[in-house]
Amino acid sequence: MPYAIFGIHNSALKLAVELVILFLVVIWLALIYWTYADARRRIADPLLIGCSTLASLFPFVGTVVYMIVRPPEFLDDVRERELEMQAAEARLAELGYHLCPHCDYEVERDYLRCPNCMRKLKDPCHSCGRPLDPMWKMCPFCEAEVGVPAPTASRRRRRVETPEPAPEQTPIP
């Protein structure tokens, strides 16, 4: 006895139903692959990629849920945006445009403190007082070593000779 899908015995109608089922299975498998490929482009964690692919095994519903919760950007777009930001920051640094790392207030290159938040930006040279980059080992302005206290001028105390009192002179008669 031939099998009947949904109780359909007409061969033409049965063929149409089988083709629809085949079409739905192919679409379902394509959605599983699409979910996997899209997750690889948007998610860096392999465990989350596997979870999203496994969720898409639930026919059609898993893929719809993945489409709702997936990250909005591709990983390549995120990397490109970060590179553009770094390039823009480098261009601004070349132009002498500096921001306070604490409050993002515009500061000059030679400021020791931020005028807005009063945080210390750079240390002054112990010898000449000019601002020093924290990475420098020597002051480029006065050639003093950074981190070494300023040499104090050693002043020797002069021995002050006090004139001895002249012996009392007795008057000669």
Domain edges within the chain = 5-76, 79-123
Long-range contacts of 124-130 (CB under 8 A, 24+ apart): 126/150
d(CA 145, CA 125): 9
What's the pTM value of the predicted model, to 2 decimals?
0.51
> Roughly what angle, to the nearest 10 degrees, separates helices 11-42 and 46-55?
160
DSSP bridge pairs for 120: 113
With b meaning 16 or more CB within 10 Å and e meaning fewer, what string describes 43-52?
beeeeebeeb
- pLDDT at position 12: 85
- Tokens 């031939």 belong to which residue? 2
d(CA 73, CA 30): 22
- pLDDT at position 101: 84
- pLDDT at position 61: 94
145 within 8 A of 137, measured Cβ to Cβ: yes
**Token pair of 85 as six digits:** 């930001």
- pLDDT at position 82: 96
Taking CA atoms, 159 is separated from 154, 155, 156, 162, in Å, by 15, 12, 9, 9
- Mean pLDDT per block of 10 residues along the chain (173 residues) reads 69 88 96 97 96 94 94 95 92 78 84 87 83 82 73 55 61 63
- pLDDT at position 131: 84
